[in-house]
Structures are given as structure tokens and as C-alpha cells.
Structure 1
Amino acid sequence: MSKKKPNDSENDLLDGRCQKQIAVYSDAPDENEISDTILLLFGPKSTEEVRTIRKILQKEIRDEQNEAKVSERSMKQDNNYISKDSVDLSSLLVSCSEAVFTNDHQTATDLMKKIRECSSPTGDSFQRLAYYFMDGIEARLAGSGSEIYRRLISKQHTLTDILKAYPLYIASCPYVRSSFYLANQTIYNIAKDATRVHIINYGIFHGFQWPSFFEYFSDLRSTPPKIRITVIEEPEPGLRPNKRVEAVRRRSAFYAKQYNVSFEYQGIASKWENVKMEDLNVGKEEKVIVCCLVKSSMLPDESTAICSPRDTFLKTIRKIKPHAFIHGISNASYNSAFFLGRFRLALSHYTSWFDMIDSTLSRHNPERVLMERVMLIPDAINTIACEGLDRVDRPETYKQWQARHHRAALEQIPVDSMIIKNMKNFVRECYHKNFFIDVDDRWVLMGWKGRVSYAMSIWKPNEM
């Protein structure tokens, strides 16, 4: 069987340059379209594609900066011109949050009006951040935070939006692609001689990880092992709770067939903490690997339940007794029960993210707006506008997760040094100089300008 290879045309890289990449998909999308788009940016031969996109993006930024300088000189000739850059939006946002916290609605309203005048969804990094943070403040004051968050979540998971936003994200930020490489290479190192491999995948995010995984096994082994993937994802709202896990089943089966990989699939639509050992049908002859690269921060913690669902999740993994548990987490500390402290920490966290995006993407790129709305804004609004059980984004630092793993009797495994070396080389060669990859206490850390945004580690049950 011939193997499907990604289209290598430079004109097929960005929305607006190739209609193929932005086609609107129905619930049963054309699998060839999806395969080309995903493999282009996640496959093992995609480094040159990422470099090509980066060159296009860098040129867009340079052109935009030159135009901005000309425009700025023209506007400064107007004596009434006041630059938005001269307004300290950070201080205004903190003052506004303090007014909200003390129920000083008049001061909050006055500050919100001033912030709105100086913010914009197409401005610089902080103007954009302030604009969206105001959406969260307004929703909090109106008592509609949970409703707005649910509406944003229901909109953000269409395949069309994801496929439009992700090429830009992968080309501008190395976190997802690096995490897939670490996970897939680790799985291969553990299971390269196995005849049956069972991957238990918590938090699928459309199954983007698996096409390149199948390709990798197919390239390196003449007879790939029988691969079984069990996907666990929270039920979709509405009449089709299994919609997402079934969509991943269809696409994964398509990719497995393309690369001649024997493949089985089990989809479980359930809250992670409710999944039991017996639900997973683990076979005695299987090499078992548990993989969780996203959404740990969405698990409820001990502040919302007597028994922490996070601890229950980790204890279930220990019961599975996998050969490895690969865990990726968003590294942040804005999980305070008190609004004011949480707001300040979230402001610091998202300031770093928006600065990263502003340094790597043109401000007027339409897919940048989509990327921000799909990947950042829903969680930010949830953090600001929601309380109690409605506040679902509760990130912790890798040090806090380290303690949780130890309490669950899990033992840490060092990440292969060659994997780390390759990740560092890839980030240095393909991405902005302010990205970094480092190691601390056996965690692989990824971040921007010294701030750790994402962290990965590998664990196994402690048999002591």
C-alpha cells in the first residue's frame, strides 16, 4: 500500500493561499483534506514546512511594522493625537479588578469605559488582552459568566475552526509539536519490540497526535505492532455525547489504514475521575502506555469535592500499572479561590501568552484572531467571570503536580536525553529566539522569555 504524503507546495500553507486548507467540513469531512492538513504540520518530515510558514509570517510582521512607523509619524503631526501606548492598561485592569472585588460598581464602570477606549481585538498584545479581559469583567458583573463560557466552548470545537487556527499556532509556537514528539518517541522507545501496544489517551483534542504516530511506526518497522487506542473524553453536551470520540475513531482508522497499521479503538465519553480500571479492558499481553497531554487543568480539585478528582485520576493510572504515564500540563498558578489574587496571576500568565503571539504573528492576520478566540479566550473568561463549580480552568504548577504524583505512589522516569536534545535543536532552528526548552527535576519545561508555560514528565507505578 502506498503511503499518503503531505502536499509540499509552499502555496498550500496558509489560509488565503490555498482553498484546500480552509475548506468548510461537514460532520463527515473529506478524510484526504484532513490528512493532508494535519500531516503537513505534525508529521516527522514537517520541519521544512514549519520553516516555510515561519518565513511568510516573519515577512508579514516586518511589512506591518514598516507600515505602522509611517502611520505613527503621520498621526503625531496631529496635536490632538494621544497614543494608546501611553496608557498603562495593566494598572487600569488591576484597579478595575479591585473595584469589582469591593463591589464599587461606579468606579468599575468608569475604569471599564476607559479600558475599552484604549483596547482593541486587533491592537498590540496588551490592547488585545485588555479587550478580552473586559469581556470577562463584564460577564462577571452581569452574572452571565457561565453562560458565556459555555457558548464559547460550544463554538470553539468545530473542526473547521481548529484546522484554520492550528497551522498558524503550530508555526508560531512549538509547544504542541514538541509535546507530540516527546510522547510519540517515548511510546516508540518503550513499545518498539512489542506485538501489541495499548495506548490509553486522556484528553484527545481531535486526535491530532496519532497520524504522525502511525507514520512513525510504519516508517521504522516493516511490520508495525497491533495498536489499540482507548480514548477518554468528557461527554459532549446535547444529544450526541460521543460525537468527539467517534470523530476521532473515524479519523484514526483512516490514518491507520493509510500507513498499514493494525488498529483497534475504544471511545469512552466520561468524566476522567469516573473511569474505572475495568472500563479499560487492559490485556495481559499488551504494552500499556497512558498519555495525557492536555486538559489536566480542567479536572476538578479538592476545593470542589471531598475526594480530589485529580488524585482519583492519578490513583486510577497507578492501578492500570502502565509501562509509562506521559503527562503534559499547562504550568500556571492562577487557581486561587479569591478573585483578586486569581485575576492578577491570570493577568501575568496571559500577558506572556499574548506577548508571544504578538512577537510571532502579524496583528492583522485573520487567523490570529481566530486562534486567540479558540485557544486562549474561553479559559481566560472562565477564570475571570466564574466561581465555584462553574470555574473549570484550575491550572497548577509542575511542582504542585509533582507532589500529586508522589502522593499517588507514582515514580518518575527521566526523559531520554536524545529526545530532549532533538527538541531543543528543533526549537532553536525553527522558532523565535525567545522560546526555550529546559529540564528541572526530570520535567521537560517549555516557555517564553524565562516563563514556563508547559511542562512534561514520564511516570510509572512505584512498586515499593
Structure 2
Amino acid sequence: MDPGSPYQWLKELRWEDRGIYLVRLLNACAGYVATGNIKNANLGLEYISHLTSPDGDAMQRMATYISEALSFRVFQHLPAACEIIMNSSSRMSNLEELVVKSLFYELCPFLKVSYLITNQAIVEAMEGEKMVHIIDLNASEPAQWINLLMALKKRREGPPHLKITVIHEKKEVLEHVGLQLIGEAEKLEFPLQFIPIVSKLQDLDFDSLSVKTGEALAISSVLQLHSLLAADNEMYARSSPAASKNLQRAVHMNQRTFAEWLEKDKINAYILSPDSALSPLSLSASPKMGSFLNDLWKLQPKLMVITEQESNLNGSNLMERVDKVLHFYGSLFDCLESTVSRTSLERQKLERMLLGEEIKNIIACEGLKRKERHEKLEKWIPWLELASFGRVPFSYDGMYQAKRLLQNYGHGYKLREENGFLFICWNDKPLFSVSAWRFRR
């Protein structure tokens, strides 16, 4: 930076002051973007650019991706920005997707804890069962089910006949999972039937799951159900030609006109970007979610374990979403800062290709394109109970094993139990919830 630059003083800020200043700038910039004040938004982004760095401290790294998302909304029409972001995600190769998700699994303990808790609950629920069927709503990490094979192999009565149905929209990912699982089952001489289903979750044909009479069924969903909340936009557009025309008209508006349209047409604005936290749907599931949970209930699962992000990022208000991103993803970047070197190429790849892409989807996209619609457990509980699922408390053994695992990653990670539900925390802040449910008549 040129010593004579008007931004030189930014470089000289102490790190703690820089973080505070960045938060203020990002919130202010989000306000300008939301109201269409492009001049001040540009000015704010210019200041922010001199404070961010993808290889700096945790705040600098996260702010890099927030500012990129805000830039999309400033410099381009909203739909074009979303297309660029969605295309950048879809351009990720199958190998890259597997690698980056594996990095999240290895560098952070959250998925390991989720898998451990889920597997322990399955082992306990399936005690004495001779035929067990597991449905994984979005398989990408074979380690979970390899560990389950090992646990079931140790049963006193011997392993059950196990059928694992895995769902993913990419065939190559399923082939990778299947290759790992089948290979491990052969080594263990474990009777395993592996069934891959290529499908997006929202398009899943439940008849293809082939749940047979006599099978004890368990369902696992890890960070997947929230994606269904975006599907209501598509359902509404298909069912109403007038609504579809309004949606097409909206996506061709510039930022200021778009904001004005949202204010005038609150009904269609809600449909374009539903916010379950503020809408009447807070007392029931969204139409797509309700239908999906009802179909799961009809399968009569003996156990269903759900892991979701513990954050309400599904709001329609841009400023609120930016603020909640700062809190939720700030903790994720902070825990990486505490456990992984800043120069780690694996950390940089994880932050750029996974966390960064999620942040940009949450902030820069609306409507159908905004897939990352996280909700807190307080919303999932009434949705699942409305679908007639009953709560299942976790055992002491599962919680004890999970706490021991977290201790290996440092003192900042904690496991908290509340009313039979579990929260995986960083410095007392819940980041992921794990809940267990069962079929109830």
C-alpha cells in the first residue's frame, strides 16, 4: 500500500481494532446494498478491500467472502450474480467435491461427532434386529458407514444383514462411497447390500427406496434437510402461471427496483424468498418440507437422526443474514484459526471452496438459487412433531464417546445436552444440532 494512500491508516490498525472495524463496515455496506445506495456501498467495499485477506486472520478470511458476495449484489443484476455463484459451485469437479468435504471432516470435529452419535444411536436401536436397512439422505463420506460396519461386527449375536441405501445427485460420488463400503465389508466378511440412488433430495422418488417388510429402518440426514426450504419457490411457480410471470419479471430488475418491488408486493416477495422464521409457516413445515417429512414418516423408521447447522440464516432481510453469517461462520473460521496453521493449503481450500461458497450463496442469492437456508433446532422440533415423529433421547454412552472425541481437538470444542438433544459447540456457541426421532402413530 502506498504510504501516501488515504487507506494507509487502515493498515496500521491493531488486529483487535481491525476486526471491530470490519464488522461495522460489513454491516453498513449490507445496509447500503439492501437500500440500493450503490455509491456508499462501493465506498464501503473499497475500505473493506484494504482490510481483508484470504490468508490473514479468521476475521479477514471470512470478510473476504462476505465482501465478494456483497460485490455481486452491487455490480451486477441479482439473477446474474446468483448464476455466477451457482455456476462456480457446479464447476467443482466430483473429485474436488469429495476432497473439500473430506477436508471439513478431517480439520473440524463436527461431522466426526455427528457420525459417532448417529452410529451409536443406530447400534442401540437395532439391538437384536436381524435385518437392518439404513437410508443416508446425502452420502459423500464413507467413513461414517465403515465405522458402523465395525461396530455392528462386534455384536454378541453377530452382525445383521445390512442394507445401506445412499442418495446423491452425482453418480460418481455414489460410486466412490460404494467402492469404499463394499471393499471394507468384504474385508470384514460382513453381509452388506449397497443401493445407490442418483437424485436430488427434492426430487427423491420414495418408491425407489424399496423398504421391505421385516426390515428395521434407520434414516440419517446430515446437513441436508434445510435445502428443501428453497423448493417451495419452484412449487409455487409451477402451480401458478401468474406467480411464475411475477418471478420472471422480478429477476430482471436491478437492485434498487428489486428492493422496491419486494416492499410493494409482500406476498410474492415472500414466495420468492420465504423466511420460515417470520412467516406463518413457523408453526408448521413449509409445503415441500411437510410433504417430505410426511413421506419419511410413512416409511415407519425405527430411528431417524438429523444433524443441522444451528443458525437461522433463512431470513429474507439481507442485513440480518449478513449479521448472522458474521456470528455463525465467524465461529467456524475462528475454530480453524485455533487448530490449523494459516499457511495450510488444506485450510485455504476448505475455506474458499466450502465455507466461502456457502457464505456467497446465503448473501448474494435469493429465491430458488439460495440453497443454504439454515434453521435452528427450535424450528425443526415443531416441524418434525407436526409430521408425527417422536423424540428419542441419546444414551450416556454416545454422549461420553462424543465428548472424548472433542477433547482431542482442543478445549474450545464442547458438547451440550438440552432436553435430549445435543449441540456441538465452539466456545459455548452452538454450531450444530443433533436430534433423534422415531416413527410414532
What is the TM-score normalised by the length of structure 2?
0.80
What is the correspondence of 1:245-284 to structure 2 with a 5 Å cutoff? Answer: 245-284=174-213
Which amino acid counterpart does residue 408 of structure 1 have in structure 2?
A: A
Match of 1:214 in 2: 149
- Paired with 1:132 and 1:154, the residues of 2 have a C-alpha distance of 18
The 8 Å contact of residues 133 and 218 in structure 2, kept in 1 or not, is answered as: yes
Match of 1:15 in 2: none
Q: For 2:372, which of 386, 393, 404 is the aligned residue?
A: 393
Match of 2:32 in 1: 99
Match of 2:383 in 1: 404
Distance 1:161 1:301, change over 3 A: closer
The 8 Å contact of residues 102 and 141 in structure 2, kept in 1 or not, is answered as: no
Tell me the C-alpha RMSD between the 2 structures.
Answer: 2.3
CA drift of 1:454 comes to 0.5
CA drift of 1:81 comes to 6.6
Match of 2:130 in 1: 195
Distance 1:128 1:225, change over 3 A: same
- Paired with 2:107 and 2:165, the residues of 1 have a C-alpha distance of 31
CA distances 1:248-267 after superposition (whole Å, capped 9, x unpaired): 22332222112211111222
What is the correspondence of 1:39-438 to structure 2 with a 5 Å cutoff? Answer: 82-83=12-13, 85=15, 86-87=17-18, 88-141=21-74, 142-143=76-77, 144-156=80-92, 158-159=94-95, 162-163=98-99, 166=102, 169-170=104-105, 172-220=107-155, 223-233=158-168, 235-236=169-170, 242-300=171-229, 304=233, 305=235, 308-428=287-407, 430-438=408-416
- Paired with 1:408 and 1:81, the residues of 2 have a C-alpha distance of 54
The 8 Å contact of residues 178 and 423 in structure 1, kept in 2 or not, is answered as: yes
The 8 Å contact of residues 100 and 353 in structure 2, kept in 1 or not, is answered as: no
Give the length in aligned residue pairs. Answer: 378
Match of 1:9 in 2: none
Which amino acid counterpart does residue 166 of structure 1 have in structure 2?
A: S
The 8 Å contact of residues 185 and 419 in structure 1, kept in 2 or not, is answered as: yes
The 8 Å contact of residues 206 and 247 in structure 1, kept in 2 or not, is answered as: no
Distance 1:362 1:125, change over 3 A: same
CA drift of 1:403 comes to 0.8
The sequence identity of aligned pairs, in percent, is 23
Which amino acid counterpart does residue 461 of structure 1 have in structure 2?
A: F
CA drift of 1:155 comes to 4.6
Distance 1:285 1:139, change over 3 A: same
- Paired with 2:390 and 2:100, the residues of 1 have a C-alpha distance of 39
Distance 1:402 1:99, change over 3 A: same
* Structure 1 unmatched ranges of 5 or more: 1-77, 237-241
- Paired with 1:222 and 1:422, the residues of 2 have a C-alpha distance of 23
Which amino acid counterpart does residue 414 of structure 2 have in structure 1?
A: F
CA drift of 1:451 comes to 1.4
Match of 2:438 in 1: 460
Which amino acid counterpart does residue 414 of structure 1 have in structure 2?
A: P
The 8 Å contact of residues 392 and 436 in structure 2, kept in 1 or not, is answered as: yes
- Paired with 2:85 and 2:294, the residues of 1 have a C-alpha distance of 30
What is the TM-score normalised by the length of structure 1?
0.76
CA distances 1:222-272 after superposition (whole Å, capped 9, x unpaired): 842211111122x34xxxxx3322332233222211221111122222233
Other structure's SS at 2:223 match: coil
CA drift of 1:138 comes to 1.6
CA drift of 1:139 comes to 1.8
Which amino acid counterpart does residue 359 of structure 2 have in structure 1?
A: A
Other structure's SS at 2:311 match: coil
CA distances 1:113-132 after superposition (whole Å, capped 9, x unpaired): 11111110000111111111
CA drift of 1:438 comes to 0.8
Match of 2:3 in 1: none
The 8 Å contact of residues 120 and 131 in structure 1, kept in 2 or not, is answered as: yes
